Amino acid sequence: MKAIVITKPGGPEVLKTEERPTPAYLSNEVLVKVAAAGINRPDVSQRKGNYPPPPGASPDIPGLEIGGTIIETGAYVTRWKVGDKICALVTGGGYAEYCAVPDGQCLSIPDNLSFVEAASLPETFFTVWSNVFDRGHLKAGETLLVHGGSSGIGVAAIQMAVAMGATVYVTAGTDEKCRFCEGLGAAKAINYKTENFAEVIRQITNSKGVDVILDMIGGDYTAPNIKSLAFDGRLVLINMMMGKDVQVDLSQVMTKRLTITGSTLRARDTTFKAAIAQNLEKHIWPLLASGKIKPIINVVFPAEKAADAHKLMESSEHIGKIVLDIESIT
């Protein structure tokens, strides 16, 4: 098969098309002919050599989410059959013509979505569900602050949390991005380049603060995050783009009874990921099928332009998801 491969750690230019063996699949896995693959920041980190894949994942083919058609099934697979159109969360290997996937990490593609649209969903939707609802325990009637509201994670979090009955505030880096987020359902979008988000949150919540914060920034955002949380608030960390070493006022953590938590998804086992898939299928997939929640795609690149896709991801100029058209691979 053909695949987009990380030839060595480095810049986007190290991504090249090469021949690789079609992956073997286990008895509880399916083999998927990949039509499209989503681009995510962990792909960029892996390309740079900063995010080694977990054991068993492809060492040099990135890609954590795919949309495609099942062409073979393992001996223990009962739910899926050849010809089923699915999207799936994978531990790597998505930028390729074929990908092996544990059966529990597959989800049917709603009839109203294309392969490209479906491929934009798994990594962000699994991440948001696991961190906002499972770890952050966000409930209807509560408030959520999402940093990076116009990112792939952000646009998923806005739509999912609003659909589940929460009020959502976000930060974003331009007025255009802020308006887009509000158009998706955010009650307030804060331009972090021109406004102090902690002060805005204080004002719009009448000094109460928010119940949950989903943070991919870390670093200098940590202190204002803690300041922005309500009593019994939960700070959930999923990345640390501004750094991992921070100072925390522990007195605020104690007096406000705060929970500081976080997670990474890629290395978790198939049982854990399958449980998230079941929750998504129950709570979110009907909303995708009805159009209440929509994939937000910024641009689709042909497979040979994977380097350009990574450049765009690193620029942070996009709104929503970036997707590779794997069917175009040559």
| CA 161/CA 275 separation, integer angstroms | 19
| CA 11/CA 75 separation, integer angstroms | 41
Residues 6+ apart with CB under 8 A from 285: 107, 108, 110
Domain ranges of the chain: 2-121+266-328, 125-262
SS3 (DSSP) at 289 = helix
Does the domain made of 125-262 have the CATH classification 2.60.120.10? no
Per-residue pLDDT of the chain (330 residues; tens, 9 = 90+): 999 999 999 999 999 999 999 999 999 999 999 999 999 999 999 999 998 898 888 899 999 999 999 999 999 999 999 999 999 999 999 999 999 999 999 999 999 999 999 999 999 999 999 999 999 999 999 999 999 999 999 999 999 999 999 999 999 999 999 999 999 999 999 999 999 999 999 999 999 999 999 999 999 999 999 999 999 999 999 998 888 999 999 999 999 999 999 999 998 999 999 999 999 999 999 999 999 999 999 999 999 999 999 999 999 999 999 999 999 998
Residue with tokens 């998706």: 184
The model's pTM is 0.95
Q: Which amino acid is at 256?
A: K
Determine the pLDDT at residue 125. 98
Determine the pLDDT at residue 242. 85
Determine the pLDDT at residue 55. 87
- Would 2-121+266-328 and 125-262 be classified into the same CATH topology? no
**Count of residues making up the chain:** 330
Q: Characterize the bridge pairing of strands 143-147 and 210-215.
A: parallel
Determine the pLDDT at residue 46. 95
> For 2-121+266-328, which CATH class?
alpha beta
